[in-house]
Structure 1
Amino acid sequence: MKIKPLFTFFLFLFSVISYAQIKLSDKATISVVTCGPGDELYSTFGHSAFRVYDAVNKLDKIYNYGTFNFNAPNFYLNFAKGKLTYQLSTTRFGYFLQVYNYENRWVKTQELDLNYNEVQATFEFLENNAKPENKDYEYDFFYDNCSTKIEDVIKTVLNDKVTFHNNHITTHKSHRDLIADYTKNQKWGKFGIDLALGSVIDKEATENDYKFLPDYIYEAFENATITTDNGIKPLVKENKTIINPKKELSIKPLAFVSTPFFTLLLISLIIVYFTFKNYKKKARSKWLDFIIYFLTGIIGIAVLLLWFATSHTATYKNLNFLWAFAPNLVVAFYLLKSKLPKWIYYYNILLIALILILAILWLFKIQVFNSAMIPLLTALGIRYLFLVKSKY
């Protein structure tokens, strides 16, 4: 009764060990796989992976550094704190292609011009990295993701044999500019990114910084070289387009009334309208002031938590706190009173000063804010000025 399960276990163990020790044939190849953007925000930047193909050993395998486990303990809490654990997963190349074909996304491969020992060493590195005890890594959107891992692996395995020249990068963009290139039709996604990420992404990106995007990794490999016994040659041997969608992606620009700019413009007009009405009647809409201060305070706390209470490197030094001022959350309850404390006068002068400081920092591109914020910042300034002038 116990012999069969034991036999099955050892058979499984033997197959795992033998597969891990597999020696590729001299026909085996290593390719970098680059995938085009998708319809959703999470897929709008594209994707990168490795492919190991060996027809002799009937091996056609994808190594994907862009996966994570929703069922991991405290996943959402760790996600919010910036402790993002991603994994190297593997699957058959055919299954991988089915997903991208279904999502109508192009897929290209770059076969690397490596000798047998280099192909075998890369394969063994990936196999070892895919083991349960090695597959996890701490993800960073800009500096350690599915795209940056591609170059890191090649540099680790081949050391100084490979040179990435990066001479294809001729622009001078920040991380925020690079994100904007891919989110032109993702207005709300771009607005959320601009609200959550700080001034650290407004510095000019280095040539290596571009490589968090799969398109730039593709170009980096196109321009890379490898040193061999016979001299220096291009690292990429052959390019192939595996999937070329017959139709364009369905991402279409939002109607103006659905954009963040229109939404914030509408809110701003409401604030200005009631402010003008209050000015004429020499009254104050307490409910309006409470909502303004309460919501800006809540947003301000969220901004500060992302800055100080998480490990997200891109949320540091977020100057959105200048308009989304966290103390407003407490002050909001004072604004419900008919007679306001005298210090409210000076507090509102401070809020006006902070908005002016923000405008100067924006002008000098210390931090670039979303253009949809212009009407809201104007309306807030008008409301705060009204409270100062009316001396409520």
Structure 2
Amino acid sequence: MSLDNATAMKLKLSVLVFLFTCVSLVAQQLQLSDDAKISVITIGPGESLNDAFGHNGFRIKDRALGIDLVYGYGEYDFDAPNFYLKFIQGKLDYLISRHPFQNFYYAYTRANRNIEEQVLRLSKEDKQALFNYLENNYKPENRRYLYDFFYDNCATRIRDVTQTATKSDIEFVTPKDVEQKTFRDLIHEHVGLNSWGSFGIDIALGAVIDKQASPQEYMFLPKYIHAFFETAKISTNESLVKSATTLYRKKESNTTTSIVLTPIVIMTLLALCILFVTYKDYKNNTRSKWLDVTLFTSTGLIGILILFLWFATDHSATALNYNVLWAFPLNILAIGQLTKPHAKTWFKKYLRFLIIMLVLLSSHWIIGVQVFALGLIPILIALLLRYIYLVKWFK
């Protein structure tokens, strides 16, 4: 059955009116009410290394519109092609996330992590601008960004978005109790010096993180976002934070970490094994080839990994890594000489070169060029004595 022209026109007009009404309603829903609140959420450290530094997010709450959302940066995109390769290379795009606050709160209370909220003193226009910015950032075409642990992460984005999206002049005042520290010092605040997390970080990250961090740069850590927002001022010279609340306090547990499995203990045991075998070789006038092959293979492979992180990735923190002074990549090429009864002249000189490298490492550590993992100390001593023994053996 066909419609006459007049009826068809009326139907088209009704559809247009309906669509216009829907668009208007959506637009109205995106306009925050006068009672809307925008706050910064700070999540305390968790148990795993991945969670050791905490997290930040924006909370947008508007009872009139029924909105209570948390926006955060730094979510993994597990659907990205070649996820693990890109992650290692530092080329992985991260995502902005958006979750209902109820789900967000449930997840972090279940994980027993502190949740703190700072409600921001923003004008209605600034609240709307910040909300619009986050909504636009959450669009599929805008969600991805290249993550950097120190300069563009879940914490720094909170600072940068607040300054970028609002018209108010925001000044971050350095808290009085903030001491001058390096990036590595700041990392060690969250991972203990004698932890495996610290051990791995101190081997993988180079001398670039041993420079003094400026107060602004402290805000790569979520706890310093909380601290700097607390003392921040807006253009009216009022405090940026209108009110602060602890939404959840972590429940303390009696769990203790066994000192037996810490890096210093394990590395000391390995070093004692190396020294014991070296002493037995000295007493028996022999050489345990298996030990030398093991040492040269392991240090060589670690050195290759360090060079890969230094030169073949986009990670800014893995540059200038002087751990190659003990984990020397060319050790791999020298393994063949260790299986022979008599070494060539170049290898004898190479052994002396390795000893010089260990001395250079010590000087780098003493003058502060780079701080190395504490757990390495017994291994470095054992390597030095083993190299000295090899020099005498092949003399």
| Same-fold status (TM-score > 0.5) | yes
- 1:119 maps to which residue? 127
Q: Give the Cα–Cα distance (whole angstroms) in 2 for the partners of residues 329 and 343 of structure 1.
A: 15
Residue pair 2:116, 2:246 contacting (<8 A) in 1 also? yes
1:249 deviation in Å? Answer: 5.3
- 1:323 maps to which residue? 326
Aligned residue pair count: 377
Structure 1 stretches of 4+ with a deviation exceeding 4 A read 14-17
Q: Give the Cα–Cα distance (whole angstroms) in 2 for the partners of residues 185 and 156 of structure 1.
A: 37
1:86 deviation in Å? Answer: 1.0
Q: Give the Cα–Cα distance (whole angstroms) in 2 for the partners of residues 329 and 16 of structure 1.
A: 69
Residue pair 1:52, 1:123 contacting (<8 A) in 2 also? yes
1:154 aligns with 2:162: yes
Q: Which amino acid aligns with 2:58?
A: F
Residue pair 2:205, 2:321 contacting (<8 A) in 1 also? yes
Which of 88, 93, 101 is the equivalent residue of 1:85? 93
Within 5 A, what are the aligned runs for 1:151-230? 151-159=159-167, 161-168=169-176, 170-184=178-192, 187-227=195-235
Describe the SS at the equivalent of 2:40: strand
User: Is the alpha carbon distance of 1:279 and 1:233 closer, same or farther for their aligned partners in structure 2, counting shifts above 3 Å?
Assistant: same
User: Is the alpha carbon distance of 1:56 and 1:101 closer, same or farther for their aligned partners in structure 2, counting shifts above 3 Å?
Assistant: same
- 1:256 maps to which residue? 259
1:339 deviation in Å? Answer: 2.1
1:103 aligns with 2:106: no
1:324-359 deviation line (CA, Å, top 9, x unaligned): 000001111221122221222111000000000000
Structure 2, unaligned runs of 5 or more: 1-14
- 1:280 maps to which residue? 283
User: Is the alpha carbon distance of 1:42 and 1:337 closer, same or farther for their aligned partners in structure 2, counting shifts above 3 Å?
Assistant: same
Describe the SS at the equivalent of 1:182: coil
User: Is the alpha carbon distance of 1:141 and 1:131 closer, same or farther for their aligned partners in structure 2, counting shifts above 3 Å?
Assistant: same
Q: Give the Cα–Cα distance (whole angstroms) in 1 for the partners of residues 177 and 81 of structure 2.
A: 41
1:63-100 deviation line (CA, Å, top 9, x unaligned): 01121111211110000101131111101000000001
Residue pair 1:191, 1:260 contacting (<8 A) in 2 also? yes
1:265 deviation in Å? Answer: 0.9
Q: Which amino acid aligns with 1:178?
A: L
Which structure has the greater CA radius of gyration? 2
- 1:367 maps to which residue? 370
1:381 deviation in Å? Answer: 0.4
Within 5 A, what are the aligned runs for 1:224-373? 224-227=232-235, 231-245=236-250, 247-248=251-252, 252=256, 254-373=257-376
Q: Give the Cα–Cα distance (whole angstroms) in 2 for the partners of residues 338 and 15 of structure 1.
A: 84
Q: Give the Cα–Cα distance (whole angstroms) in 1 for the partners of residues 193 and 28 of structure 2.
A: 44
Q: What's the % identity of the aligned pairs?
A: 44
Q: Which amino acid aligns with 1:119?
A: K
User: Is the alpha carbon distance of 1:74 and 1:20 closer, same or farther for their aligned partners in structure 2, counting shifts above 3 Å?
Assistant: farther
Q: Which amino acid aligns with 1:23?
A: Q
Q: CA RMSD in A?
A: 2.0
Please give the TM-score of this superposition, normalised by the length of structure 1: 0.92
Describe the SS at the equivalent of 1:225: coil
1:133-189 deviation line (CA, Å, top 9, x unaligned): 111111001110000000101110225521112244631111111111111287111
Describe the SS at the equivalent of 1:63: strand
Q: Give the Cα–Cα distance (whole angstroms) in 1 for the partners of residues 352 and 193 of structure 2.
A: 38
Q: Which amino acid aligns with 1:301?
A: I
